[in-house]
């Protein structure tokens, strides 16, 4: 589907052309054209031949479309109710300049939050939520009232730990007493290597929503983390923890370990070296993951993704020991900047499929299997600081630096000496720029920036199917699954942006949220934006389903901004 607007009025003594141009490639016939006039009247033409100019008049319009700006319209599948929940809660990002140490990193790594998790914490059968804090801001617990409003509950233990940054969080029953305890992973880029501020937090619930700090009982892991998942790995009936290592502070792209913590009589013990030895080394930059029974043998397997990572399929032997079988499942070559992973059976064939949120296509960075997007990592000028150098293929098939001479030489002064002018630098390939400096260089690549689905073909293999183009205009940071049109097929609500790009790259801010209507085959069509009722244009990080009273809703967490709440209006 293509859309365009005509507005003749511009600035003083200027106007836009009144002819709209649509590029259709080899298409011979258009299914339909819908024209909406400012009055609300609409004209629909069907089965139109291409390669012609159409002269259209409002007087020929026979019907009206619903007002797409009316978020409370009876026609939309959601509408915003943030002002009705009685709660003013926001994430407040602290000030930190990532680029002071690393001029050439593609985006900030200190603004990855907030995290968000939902559960009933006080046993009143109403769902509550925890919103993670940035460094200097404590996490916040919002309790749902009987009248469908929320109120903040002060938890002293949260305030005591506010200097660290919450990178992910999960409610789970740690001790099998029937209430929801809370694990909060710590991360970010602003602290020193191995800082105690990277230690995670564990809070025990008394069943009434009061939390006691038991963090001292956790293993002392001072890695900056990006993911926590809680599930029974070893089949003993209690809940274990997976921690995804995210980054090395001040060294963009350098891989870090991940961790498996087994619940042994209520105490968490690091068993990574035994259960998945490869995680103990430079495993990756994990930002997302999930668990499901991929091979349908009765236990929970792991799917892991991250920045500059392929999708990892880790198969569980039933006792918590994981083996990487990405190659046999056909995901070992699918590398991206993955933000979120959700597993469900999309095509109703009995096995799990995987939804993947990625960077999208609305950015200057380009990647494909034939022409991947690269990063070269090292201290190239031997001055003690970490250097990040991005590379992209040009039309001539050569790998060139993405960043310009000015920024490049700020990080690595030898570039200005080696290339006396902009012309000589512009003609140099990336390896010519770094000639003689590539020893011990870490090289990573991405070959897919599209978001999409891994469809399980029941032959121990996944096939990647990208989402429609409308879902590629911004990063997808999170998914919510539901059935908005009550046809028995899974539909997908998605949202995402990322504002904090480096100075030479436009921020990712085109996302307003969307709904992908499931066909029951693993493929989707995009619901027109005027019908979805969503306007999630903030710096979205997380989106979760939450039940308010008897209504299914979504809660959206924005970086450095307030939460948003939308009610889902499922209907045929």
**Average confidence (pLDDT) over 437-462:** 95
Max Cα-Cα span within the chain: 76
Whether 55 is covered by a domain: the verdict is yes
**The pLDDT value given to residue 73:** 54
Among candidate residues 9, 30, 65, the one where a domain is terminated: 65
pLDDT digits (tens, 9 = 90+) for 208-249: 999 999 999 999 999 999 999 999 999 999 999 999 999 999
pLDDT digits (tens, 9 = 90+) for 386-404: 999 999 999 889 999 999 9
* Model confidence, pTM: 0.89
Label residue 68 by pLDDT band (50, 70, 90): very low
Whether 25 is covered by a domain: the verdict is yes
Q: Are 35 and 60 in contact (CB under 8 A)?
A: no
**The pLDDT value given to residue 166:** 99
Express as a percent the part of the chain with pLDDT over 90: 87
Whether 492 is covered by a domain: the verdict is no
Say whether pLDDT at 266 is over 50.
Answer: yes
Label residue 36 by pLDDT band (50, 70, 90): confident
Containing structural domain, residue 10: 1-65
Query: Tokens 């609300």 identify what position?
Result: 40
Label residue 570 by pLDDT band (50, 70, 90): confident
Q: Are strands 312-316 and 286-292 parallel, antiparallel or unpaired?
A: unpaired
**The pLDDT value given to residue 18:** 79
**Average confidence (pLDDT) over 508-536:** 96
CA distances from 510 to 20, 104, 112, 494, 495 (A): 22, 24, 18, 13, 10
Partners of 480 in the β-ladder: 493
Q: Are strands 181-186 and 335-337 parallel, antiparallel or unpaired?
A: unpaired
Among candidate residues 65, 97, 121, the one where a domain is terminated: 65
**Average confidence (pLDDT) over 45-63:** 88
**What mean pLDDT is reported for the chain?**
95
CA distance 442 to 438: 9
* 83 exposure class (CB count in 10 Å sphere: 0-12, 13-18, 19+): exposed
Label residue 69 by pLDDT band (50, 70, 90): very low
Whether 334 is covered by a domain: the verdict is no
Of 63 and 517, the one with more pLDDT: 517
Among candidate residues 423, 445, 467, the one where a domain is terminated: 445
Say whether pLDDT at 72 is over 60.
Answer: no
Whether 93 is covered by a domain: the verdict is no
pLDDT digits (tens, 9 = 90+) for 105-122: 999 999 999 999 999 999
pLDDT digits (tens, 9 = 90+) for 401-428: 999 999 999 999 999 999 999 999 999 9
Q: How many domains does the chain have?
A: 2
Phi/psi region, residue 77 (left: phi>0; alpha: psi -120 to 50; beta: rest), is alpha
pLDDT digits (tens, 9 = 90+) for 124-170: 999 999 999 999 999 999 999 999 999 999 999 999 999 999 999 99
**Average confidence (pLDDT) over 437-455:** 98
Whether 242 is covered by a domain: the verdict is no
**The pLDDT value given to residue 26:** 87
pLDDT digits (tens, 9 = 90+) for 332-352: 999 999 999 999 999 999 999
Whether 75 is covered by a domain: the verdict is no
Whether 540 is covered by a domain: the verdict is no
**The pLDDT value given to residue 2:** 83
Range in 12-26, 111-125, 294-308 with the lowest mean pLDDT = 12-26
């Amino acid at each position: 589907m293509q859309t365009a607007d005509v507005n003749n009025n511009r600035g003083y003594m200027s106007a836009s052309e009144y002819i709209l141009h649509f590029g259709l490639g080899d298409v011979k016939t258009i299914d339909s054209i819908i024209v909406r006039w400012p009055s609300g009247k609409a004209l629909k033409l069907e089965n139109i031949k291409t390669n012609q100019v159409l002269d259209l008049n409002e007087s020929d319009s026979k019907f009206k479309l619903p007002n797409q700006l009316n978020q409370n319209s009876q026609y939309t599948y959601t509408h915003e109710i943030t002002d009705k929940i009685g709660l003013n809660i926001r994430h407040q990002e602290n000030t930190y300049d990532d680029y002071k140490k690393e001029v050439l990193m593609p985006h900030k790594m200190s603004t990855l939050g907030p995290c968000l998790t939902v559960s009933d914490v006080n046993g009143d059968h109403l769902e509550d939520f925890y919103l993670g804090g940035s460094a200097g801001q404590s996490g916040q617990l919002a309790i749902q009232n009987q009248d469908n409003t929320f109120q903040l509950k002060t938890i002293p233990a949260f305030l005591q730990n506010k200097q660290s940054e919450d990178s992910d969080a999960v409610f789970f029953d740690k001790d099998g007493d029937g209430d929801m305890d809370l694990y909060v992973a710590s991360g970010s880029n602003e602290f020193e290597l191995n800082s105690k501020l990277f230690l995670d937090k564990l809070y025990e619930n008394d069943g009434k929503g009061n939390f006691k700090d038991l963090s001292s009982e956790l293993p002392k892991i001072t890695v900056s983390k990006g993911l926590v998942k809680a599930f029974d790995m070893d089949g003993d009936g209690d809940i274990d923890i997976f921690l995804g290592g995210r980054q090395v502070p001040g060294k963009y792209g350098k891989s870090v370990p991940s961790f498996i913590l087994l619940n042994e009589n209520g105490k968490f013990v690091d068993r990574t070296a035994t259960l998945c030895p490869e995680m103990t080394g430079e495993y990756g930059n994990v930002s997302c993951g999930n668990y499901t029974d991929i091979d349908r043998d009765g236990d929970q397997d792991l799917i892991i993704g991250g920045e500059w990572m392929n999708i990892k399929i880790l198969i569980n032997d039933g006792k918590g020991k994981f083996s990487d079988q990405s190659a046999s499942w056909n995901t070992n070559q699918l590398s991206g900047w993955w933000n979120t992973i959700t597993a469900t059976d999309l095509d109703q064939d009995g096995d799990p499929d995987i939804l993947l949120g990625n960077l999208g296509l609305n950015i200057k960075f380009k990647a494909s299997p034939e022409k991947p997007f690269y990063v070269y990592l090292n201290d190239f000028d031997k001055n003690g600081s970490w250097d990040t150098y991005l590379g992209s293929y040009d039309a001539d098939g050569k790998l060139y630096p993405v960043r310009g001479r000015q920024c490049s030489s700020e990080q690595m002064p030898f570039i200005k000496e080696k290339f006396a002018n902009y012309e000589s630098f512009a003609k140099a390939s990336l390896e010519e720029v770094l000639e003689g400096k590539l020893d011990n260089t870490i090289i990573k690549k991405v070959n897919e920036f599209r978001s999409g689905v891994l469809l399980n073909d029941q032959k121990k293999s996944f096939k990647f199917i990208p989402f429609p183009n409308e879902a590629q205009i911004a990063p997808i940071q999170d998914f919510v699954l539901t059935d908005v049109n009550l046809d028995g097929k899974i539909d997908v609500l998605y949202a995402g942006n990322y504002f904090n790009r480096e100075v030479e790259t436009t921020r990712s801010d085109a996302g307003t949220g969307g709904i992908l209507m499931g066909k029951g085959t693993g493929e989707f069509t995009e619901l027109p934006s005027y019908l979805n009722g969503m306007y999630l244009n903030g710096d979205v990080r997380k989106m979760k389903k939450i039940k308010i009273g008897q209504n299914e809703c979504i809660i959206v967490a924005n970086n450095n901004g307030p939460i948003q709440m939308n009610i889902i209006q499922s209907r045929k």
